[in-house]
Each structure stands twice: as C-alpha cells, then as structure tokens.
Amino acid sequence: MVHVTKKKGVAGSTNSTAEVLLVHDVEHLGKRGEIVRVKPGYARNYLLPHGLATVATDENKRMVELHREKLKAIEASRVRDLSKLADAVSKYSATIEANATADNALYGSVGAKDISDALKAGGHKIEPEHVRLEGPIRELGMYTIKLKLHEKVQTEVKVWVVPSATGA
C-alpha cells in the first residue's frame, strides 16, 4: 500500500503525492536511502515494480537511519586508519633506483606506480591513485610527493631518485 497525501489545490486536479524510500539511485529523483514524494501512479507503476523504491514506513525509515549510522562509523574508522597510515608515511623516505645519464637525466621516468611500489616495499599500503604528481620525474634528486589517501587525509612523502648500482 502506498501512502498518499492529499494537498489542497484546484478542484478536479490530482495534487496527491506518495512517500517512497529509494532503494537505488534514481536519476532526477534522488539517491539511495532518501525519502521522496512522487505521484502515486509513478510509485505504483514504475518505482515499486522495478524495485527502485519501497513504501516509506516508519520501520523502513528506522532501518535506513540505523544503516546510515553504521556507514558513518565505518567511514570514521577508515579515516582514522588512513590518518595513521599518513602519519607513518610522512616520516618515511623512499629510495628509487633508476638508470641515468652522467648529467643526472633519467633514461625513462619515475611515475606514480614506481613511487607506490617503493612505498609498498617499505611496508606502506599506498596505491598509485593516491600519488599526486604534477608530471613524471625525469631527473635524479630528492622530491616531496603529495599523497591523497581520502578527501580528509592528505600527506607528503620524501622520495629519493638515485642512480642504479648497475649503471647505464
């Protein structure tokens, strides 16, 4: 049963709405977990049969609120863990060996994957998408690389690019 609310309006018009809880994101309507008001026919003929929404009962509203609280707790825990990782990485210095010419120019370049691999070798779980480079590193030297682990967690790491022991 869809809960229908009659609004005062023009006589003969159908100004009634149904309150539904979205189960999936619906374009131009809302995101999953939101309670929206729609025309009863839209709810009855499209949203409910396609499994995009359910009737917004008090029990369903409570369940959604409990789920949101759990998600917030999980996200807070994840941010705390990433903050600890960021703190550890900021105190770490990675060394990457690369083939270089006599005038310190690299034959190739050092990119986000190389930096990620060096940090993983040091025991830090940093993925290439966390590394924020303005461009590939093409010379030997020390670089301060920005890392963005989460919207709320950012840090920097020192990366040394040194000539490889085997030479070029």
Residues 48-83 pLDDT 10s? 999 999 998 899 889 888 988 999 999 999 999 999
The domains of the chain are located at 4-56, 86-163
In sequence order, which residues have a C-beta less than 8 Å from that of residue 28 and are 6 or more positions away?
none
pLDDT reported for residue 64:
86
For the chain, 168 residues long, give each residue's pLDDT as a single digit of tens.
566 555 544 333 356 888 999 999 999 999 988 899 999 999 999 999 999 999 988 998 898 889 889 999 999 999 999 999 999 999 999 999 999 998 989 999 999 999 999 999 999 999 999 999 998 899 999 999 999 999 999 999 999 999 987 654
DSSP code per residue over 23-66? SS-BTTTB-TT-EEEE-HHHIIIIITTTTSEEE--HHHHHHHHH
Q: Which CATH class is domain 86-163?
A: alpha beta
Fold of 4-56: Ribosomal Protein L9; domain 1 (3.40.5)
- The pTM (predicted TM-score) of the whole model is 0.65
Residue 127, classed as helix, strand or coil, is coil
